[in-house]
Structure 1
């Protein structure tokens, strides 16, 4: 079992940080970030906005990652220009979002995301600018503000770093550089309030801790377990996107351990969480092995698909549903198919899995009981199935977690490399190949017509 490592914090959930109205300005000579390492398109966007008279900076994750010598996946810009002004400056841009309106500037396949400086939500703000739910979640976040106010609205200190491509200076309002050096994830402001504004920030704290190998600062960590149920209010489609970022970043196994440690896994995968309680050793081994395999493939630059990973995450919750349906008299394979349909429908209420992933998931699942049916020509037909390789890998994953399959995985490993004669022999040894023995011709015996007439 994964041990709960989080220690209870006896103090309040967090101490509000003193707001700083002026940043620490770190000159280029005192840090390692150089503009040449930024996307040239991001530099172009910043410089054109500055030339148009606006403040503009590279901001957030790209600055953080470059300071850590990590190659950023994308580059964001923060500016004093409104989304409409950004749109007017760049013909190759478009405005997106209602909850958080911003601009996307397109350069071929690369998109530079440009956000306007935000401010705190005041009571006099209009419904178009700001709206909150009863729990405190921000439903609309379009209150524009100053450079200084924007820094206080950001989530974590390590993401509140602004890089000026012209001067090479880093503007640090929240001691983000200090936290990077100390490898800490720290929220800006009062943690409970910030999580209530957007519960996904709890997942982001876990994601950054897993990705960067940082520790979550105690005040930032303290309210997470209590507030984890707030994730039930987040749209299932948004949670799917967050799960992909969490578990397919190359540090999925460590990230899962943190999700489980902080009780954030249950709101995302409630049926799997129940399976962990029922069969902890098997379920945790299977999930962690699947994530470890995914991490290894990402590290090797090999393709990965969410379909296989989600199939593994949900599989431990499937057998009990199948047994319940079989107990009602439903045959094995139809029971398996119905249980898979019901489980997937229930999961999509929490984490909406698109059909482009759920359909191959179902195929991987549906092939598991069929892999045991190898008589006659079935084995060769299975080899020709487009999902065979994924289904075979999934079978090996089940066995590595301790599931008993009577050596089925080993049999299929040998069968794939066997010659045609060896394959026929393997099928005969199963006792199920009727076609390999000579067919006996059925001779119809012609009966002589009965002569019912009396003997002469």
Structure 2
């Protein structure tokens, strides 16, 4: 383990970051996405610094296979774009670059200034960027070329202690972005992390901030949860913190019936087990498991001999509002449920 120092105004040495070797952090470089590695090599070849960041580093340290790899660099979006023909600059309030491969998109962002407000385009140094990240376990920088882990905020120590600690001051963390409450719950469940007391209390005080969250962002968060392999325990925690009422209000209200809630969670547990075996990314299938018991038991169509498709479709769209999945995904979910109703009736399962 090495310590990276900087110099204070008075000339004294100040600890800046801990640098862990491959033997100390234990990340197998073979677990890194090959295209993410290519991006980092090319950026370094262009004279820039570049690291894998965020949840991918956290998951690698936990021995999990990350679903997405994000890269951060000191290159500007335009400089990144010049290095990668297969890329596109996106965003207005905060510009970043998507690098396209045949089966994936890798997001490349420029280090942000500590003075940046919410999503504004103010770039800075890596030492500032780390302070813009939400939790310490998501604020580590991993270079797969040198195989070193750069840790400015004791994130590895927190991860090994199974602790979820915020980096952004509590009076700002959720007012800047209320979705961080949902993510805190998700990280806590999926990583087996214990939220520190002040974070738990701030979530309980800030619940109502989710009311103004755009439907598009809430939709993405719900599908990330349903497709995580931990849908049931995450949603149970969202219910406990009273957050789920702002994700899917009508389903939350229906699930206040404990017997019905238990059925929905049984269905989600089945989905979770299947996700552990096969990583099925079809949103329609996730919706089918989530809405199964509502359609069969709560809606007026469940007891009908023939389910009127358009009416049932409209009802499902209504019950999951403000979530806005693609119509084709809701339609496919409904087709799946209509075809399997006889098995549900026979066995209580889909």
> So what's the TM-score if we normalise by structure 2?
0.85
The question of 1:273 aligning with 2:284 is answered no
1:391 aligned partner: 341
Q: CA deviation at 1:337?
A: 6.2
Q: CA deviation at 1:360?
A: 2.7
- Alignment partner of 2:61 out of 52, 67, 80: 67
Secondary structure of the corresponding residue to residue 66 of structure 2:
coil
**Cα distance in 1 for residues equivalent to 2:269 and 2:184:** 21
Secondary structure of the corresponding residue to residue 113 of structure 2:
coil
- Alignment partner of 1:290 out of 263, 267, 281: 267
**Closer, same or farther in 2 for the Cα pair 1:27/1:113, shift >3 Å?**
same
| Cα offsets for 1:95-135 (capped at 9, x unmatched) | 1222432112233323322110012346xxxxxxx5xxxxx
The question of 1:24 aligning with 2:1 is answered no
Q: CA deviation at 1:198?
A: 0.9
**Cα distance in 2 for residues equivalent to 1:272 and 1:219:** 29
| Cα offsets for 1:71-99 (capped at 9, x unmatched) | 22222111011111100112222112224
Secondary structure of the corresponding residue to residue 104 of structure 1:
strand
**Closer, same or farther in 2 for the Cα pair 1:142/1:336, shift >3 Å?**
same
- Indicate the larger mover: 258-267 or 309-318: 309-318
**Cα distance in 1 for residues equivalent to 2:111 and 2:213:** 24
Contact kept in structure 2, 1:271 and 1:317, CA below 8 Å: no
**Closer, same or farther in 2 for the Cα pair 1:230/1:315, shift >3 Å?**
farther
2:43 aligned partner: 49
| Cα offsets for 1:391-445 (capped at 9, x unmatched) | 3455467x46xxxxxxxx9xxxxxxxxxxxxxxxxxxxxxxxxxxxxxxxxxxxx
Contact kept in structure 2, 1:207 and 1:245, CA below 8 Å: no
1:448 aligned partner: none
Q: CA deviation at 1:333?
A: 7.0
Q: CA deviation at 1:364?
A: 5.3
**Closer, same or farther in 2 for the Cα pair 1:148/1:394, shift >3 Å?**
farther
Greater C-alpha radius of gyration: 1
- Indicate the larger mover: 90-99 or 181-190: 90-99
The question of 1:344 aligning with 2:322 is answered no
**Cα distance in 2 for residues equivalent to 1:312 and 1:164:** 39
**Cα distance in 2 for residues equivalent to 1:222 and 1:395:** 43
**Cα distance in 2 for residues equivalent to 1:92 and 1:332:** 52
Contact kept in structure 1, 2:268 and 2:290, CA below 8 Å: no
**Cα distance in 2 for residues equivalent to 1:173 and 1:92:** 32
Q: CA deviation at 1:183?
A: 1.1
**Cα distance in 2 for residues equivalent to 1:271 and 1:157:** 34
Once the two structures are superposed, the pairs formed by residues 154-233 of structure 1 within 5 Å of their partners are: 154-233=133-212
Q: In structure 2, list runs of 5 or more residues that go unmatched.
A: 1-13
**Cα distance in 1 for residues equivalent to 2:146 and 2:280:** 40
**Closer, same or farther in 2 for the Cα pair 1:52/1:334, shift >3 Å?**
closer
Secondary structure of the corresponding residue to residue 48 of structure 2:
coil
| Cα offsets for 1:186-208 (capped at 9, x unmatched) | 21121341111111111111111
Secondary structure of the corresponding residue to residue 255 of structure 2:
helix
The question of 1:356 aligning with 2:348 is answered no
**Closer, same or farther in 2 for the Cα pair 1:84/1:320, shift >3 Å?**
same
**Closer, same or farther in 2 for the Cα pair 1:342/1:66, shift >3 Å?**
closer
Question: Matched residue pairs, number?
Answer: 335
| RMSD over equivalenced CA pairs, Å | 2.9
Contact kept in structure 1, 2:131 and 2:167, CA below 8 Å: yes
Q: CA deviation at 1:287?
A: 1.1
**Closer, same or farther in 2 for the Cα pair 1:179/1:341, shift >3 Å?**
same
Contact kept in structure 1, 2:133 and 2:168, CA below 8 Å: no
Structure with the higher fraction of residues in strand conformation:
2
Q: In structure 1, list runs of 5 or more residues that go unmatched.
A: 1-19, 123-129, 131-137, 324-330, 368-387, 401-408, 410-456
Secondary structure of the corresponding residue to residue 294 of structure 1:
helix
**Closer, same or farther in 2 for the Cα pair 1:309/1:77, shift >3 Å?**
closer
**Closer, same or farther in 2 for the Cα pair 1:40/1:361, shift >3 Å?**
closer
Contact kept in structure 1, 2:70 and 2:108, CA below 8 Å: yes
1:235 aligned partner: 214
Q: CA deviation at 1:343?
A: 5.3
Contact kept in structure 2, 1:322 and 1:336, CA below 8 Å: no
**Closer, same or farther in 2 for the Cα pair 1:30/1:267, shift >3 Å?**
same
2:236 aligned partner: 257
**Cα distance in 2 for residues equivalent to 1:344 and 1:214:** 34
The question of 1:322 aligning with 2:295 is answered no
Q: CA deviation at 1:166?
A: 3.8
Contact kept in structure 1, 2:57 and 2:141, CA below 8 Å: yes
